[in-house]
Structure 1
Amino acid sequence: MSPDRASELKDSLFELRCAAEDIATAVNEGENARDIAKLCQEMVDLARNIEKLR
């Protein structure tokens, strides 16, 4: 893997972790199911994009 690709992967994994933390925060703060579902979909989309970095 090239250094640029590795950096891109690292940045993407950081975004994925932040998305997971956003979901955890929303749950802890009692957000409604629709908002949590939206955050979950964003995280799934990020994960799918990371899979494409091969």
Structure 2
Amino acid sequence: MQPDRYQLLKDELFELRCAAEDIATASSEGASAGEIRDLCDELVHLAKRIEKLR
């Protein structure tokens, strides 16, 4: 893997982890089902975007 692609993947995975942490935080703080659903939608969107980096 080229260094620039590696860095892009690393950055994308960091963003994915942050999105997952946002869900965990929102859940522990009593966020509504709608808020959790929105955060999950964002997580899925990020994961699909990362899949396209191949």
Please state which band the TM-score falls in when normalised by the shorter chain. Answer: over 0.9
Q: In the alignment, what sits opposite 2:4?
A: 4
Structure 1's unaligned 5+ residue stretches are none
RMSD of aligned Cα (Å): 0.3
> Where do 5+ consecutive residues of structure 2 fail to align?
none
Separation in structure 1 between the aligned mates of residue 2 and residue 26 of structure 2, nearest angstrom: 36
Detail structure 1 runs of 4+ shifted over 2 Å in the superposition: none
Match in the other structure for 1:41: 41
How far off is 1:53 after superposition?
0.4
Q: Percent identity?
A: 67
Amino acid at match of 2:19: A
